[in-house]
């Protein structure tokens, strides 16, 4: 029985480790039922030590949401930045989003859980503002797609944006249910192809 004492780690790094631990745990259990004891155990610390770095549990959740928001948006921006075609941009965003979720299954669960909760927490505010910016970016891309003739000019922009986000959320939900993130990576391009067909201007009359 070698009860090794955990290394003393600087506060900021310890906070980062905590965020990772929560996202890790959220990948395999309901975010709402992740206890501070479970977090502590996962990062090999005692439960009380957590509160040396966060004033309370809400603060942990806020830090997690901040991480998710920052990293997800960064990956989507990076994927889309060098692409000029709106359709190409949308596909890149779609696949980047899926890849991010496949890498961090806990992330969407934290997001959903927080957004659905009745309580207006700091974490929820963060999540809401991220969703708002995401939707705005999407609408802009769709509008420019119509302008340059890639998308049908009869296209309902709001509905197309809703379906884009919904398609991702649906894919994610089904993969979380199946517990298989690799399947999602494989399905994503095929599903997006149908979506694209739904919003594109017809090229030829072929069925």
Partner DNA sequence: ATAAATATAGTAATCAATTACTATCTAGAT
Partner DNA sequence: ATCTAGATAGTAATTGATTACTATATTTAT
Could you give the residue ranges of the DSSP H alpha helices within 81-121?
A: 86-103, 106-116
Q: Is 207 in the site for its own copies (CB under 8 A)?
A: yes
Minimum CB separation of residue 90 from its own copies in Å reads 13
How far apart CA 150 and CA 33 sit, in angstroms, is 46
Q: Is 8 in the site for DNA (CB under 7 A)?
A: yes
Q: Is 117 in the site for DNA (CB under 7 A)?
A: no
Q: Is 122 in the site for its own copies (CB under 8 A)?
A: no
Among 83, 95, 99, 163, binds its own copies (CB under 8 A): 163
* Contact in structure between 89 and 83 (CB atoms under 8 Å): yes
What backbone torsions phi and psi does residue 200 show, to the nearest 5 degrees? -80, 155
Q: Is 77 in the site for its own copies (CB under 8 A)?
A: no
How far apart CA 99 and CA 104 sit, in angstroms, is 9
Residue 5 is given by DSSP the state P
Q: Pick what 166 binds: its own copies, DNA, none; C-beta below 5 to 8 Å, kind-dependent.
A: its own copies
Binding part of the chain for DNA, among 37-45, 79-87, 144-152, 174-182 by CB under 7 A, reads: 37-45
């Amino acid at each position: 029985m070698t009860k090794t004492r955990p290394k003393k780690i600087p506060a900021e790094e310890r906070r980062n480790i905590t965020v990772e631990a929560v996202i890790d745990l959220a990948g395999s259990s309901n975010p709402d039922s992740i206890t501070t004891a479970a977090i502590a155990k996962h990062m090999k610390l005692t439960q009380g030590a957590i509160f040396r770095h966060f004033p309370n549990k809400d603060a942990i959740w806020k830090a997690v949401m901040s991480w998710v928001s920052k990293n997800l948006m960064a990956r989507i921006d990076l994927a889309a930045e060098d692409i000029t075609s709106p359709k190409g941009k949308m596909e890149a965003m779609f696949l980047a989003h899926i890849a991010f979720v496949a890498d961090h299954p806990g992330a969407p669960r934290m997001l959903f859980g927080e957004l659905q909760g009745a309580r207006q927490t700091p974490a929820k505010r963060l999540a809401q503002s991220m969703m708002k910016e995401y939707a705005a970016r999407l609408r802009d891309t769709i509008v420019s797609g119509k302008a340059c003739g890639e998308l049908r000019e009869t296209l309902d922009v709001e509905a197309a944006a809703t379906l884009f986000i919904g398609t991702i959320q649906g894919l994610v939900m089904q993969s979380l249910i199946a517990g298989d993130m690799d399947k999602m990576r494989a399905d994503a391009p095929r599903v997006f192809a149908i979506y694209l067909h739904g919003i594109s201007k017809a090229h030829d009359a072929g069925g």
